[in-house]
Amino acid sequence: MLEFIDRKPIDATDGLDQVALAQLAVIGELYFGEPTTPQISADGDEGTLSAVDHWRVVDGERHVYDAWFYMGDSGTIFEAGTTTNVAEIIQCGLECGDKHRRVALGAAMVAAKLLPKGDLSYKEFAAALAAAKK
């Protein structure tokens, strides 16, 4: 069962490793529509990301995904240590083309309280979480 762990609030790009910077470059292009490594600002200045958190997503002890949440309702999930984008968070909801990965990530988001109860998929993911715990 997937689990979101090690939440790390990010308030600047200083000190981030090359993988994190490369992932932020992908995020910048997805979010702003142009190639850029976005700066991070607590104030949400134009052209910057705010409210940035990085999470490790694990399956048991194996690190499988890097998850970035930003701007209060957005996010991007990558295969761990890569720039391979596997899912997006759009207006707080999970978007993922692989249905098995989608359910596993959604259930883990419910467990971590990262998915609002008002999201249309919340009940589906909460049921998947309950079934996985049996």
Task: Tell me whether residue 86 is in a domain.
Answer: yes
Q: What is the pTM of this model?
A: 0.95
Parent domain of 94: 2-98
Under the banding of pLDDT at 50, 70 and 90, the label for residue 131 is very high
Q: Cα(20)–Cα(22) distance, rounded to whole angstroms?
A: 5
Number of Cβ within a 10 Å radius of residue 53: 15
pLDDT in tens, 59-70: 999 999 999 999
Q: Tell whether 32 is covered by a domain.
A: yes
Query: How many domains are contained in the chain?
Result: 1
In a domain, residue 107? The reply is: no
19: in domain: yes
3-state secondary structure 83-126: CCEEEEEECCEEECCCHHHHHHHHHHHHHCCCCCCCCCCHHHHH
Q: Per the domain annotation, does 120 fall within a domain?
A: no
